């Protein structure tokens, strides 16, 4: 089980309702998410809708949704959807996800949230819908977001070797 950071398709990554100066990159990217001063914050209200596309179909074991230094603004009710890249706020609120989680204080502090692997077998796009936060504050904050799992057998073009040259 590894951090699927390298499998993320950064070009089509999308986060709805993020504050322009506190974007999704702050919570996902290496280096940014370790920095407590850089975080993802919601804008118009406390909800967030994050679409994370992967370059190959991945299996997901668990996710980390952490907000240690701002516990009042940490996410509380979170739904995860698989392969629904166009789902919107109202649809996400009304439908059941592949996982519906109420974060415990330990999970909000960084403990991985375990998922039913059988529901997260071939994920091309993972959608995280944050419905509300711990303290019912106006905005929700996520300091670190990590997806843990395993990548499928992906074709790494860099590894192609010229067989004829090898045989000399």
Q: List residues near other proteins by CB under 8 A.
A: 11-12, 14-18, 20, 23, 25, 43-45, 47, 85-86, 88-89
The smaller minimum CB distance to other proteins, of residues 123 and 148, is found at: 123
Closest contact distance (angstroms) between CB of 100 and other proteins is 21
Least distance to other proteins from the beta carbon of 18, Å?
Answer: 8
Q: Which residues 6+ apart lie within 8 Å of 161 measured at CB? A: none
Identity of the residue, 18 or 143, whose beta carbon is nearer to other proteins in the bound complex:
18
Distance in Å, CB of 123 to other proteins, minimum:
18
Separation of alpha carbons 47 and 56, rounded Å: 28
Residue closer to other proteins by CB (options 45, 72) is: 45
3-state secondary structure of 89: helix
CB of 12 to other proteins, least distance (A): 6
Which residues face 132 on adjacent strands? Answer: 77
CB–CB of 141/74 below 8 Å?
Answer: yes
Nearer to other proteins, 18 or 41 (CB): 18
DSSP state string for 91-106:
HHHHS--SEEEE--HH
- The pair of structure tokens assigned to 152 is 């499928």
């Amino acid at each position: 089980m590894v951090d699927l950071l390298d499998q993320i398709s950064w070009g089509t990554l999308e986060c709805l309702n993020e504050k322009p100066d506190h974007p999704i990159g702050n919570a996902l990217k290496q280096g940014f998410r370790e920095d407590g001063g850089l975080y993802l914050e919601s804008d118009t209200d406390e909800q967030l809708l994050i679409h994370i596309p992967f370059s190959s179909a991945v299996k997901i074991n668990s996710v980390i949704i952490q907000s240690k230094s701002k516990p009042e603004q940490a996410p509380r009710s979170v739904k995860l959807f698989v392969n629904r890249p166009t789902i919107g706020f109202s649809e996400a609120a009304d439908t059941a996800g592949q996982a519906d989680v109420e974060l415990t204080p330990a999970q909000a502090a960084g403990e991985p949230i375990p998922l039913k692997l059988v529901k997260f077998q071939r994920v091309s796009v993972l959608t995280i819908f944050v419905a509300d936060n711990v303290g019912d504050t106006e905005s929700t904050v996520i300091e670190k977001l990590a997806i843990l799992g395993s990548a499928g057998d992906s074709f790494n073009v860099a590894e192609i070797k010229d067989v004829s040259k090898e045989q000399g």
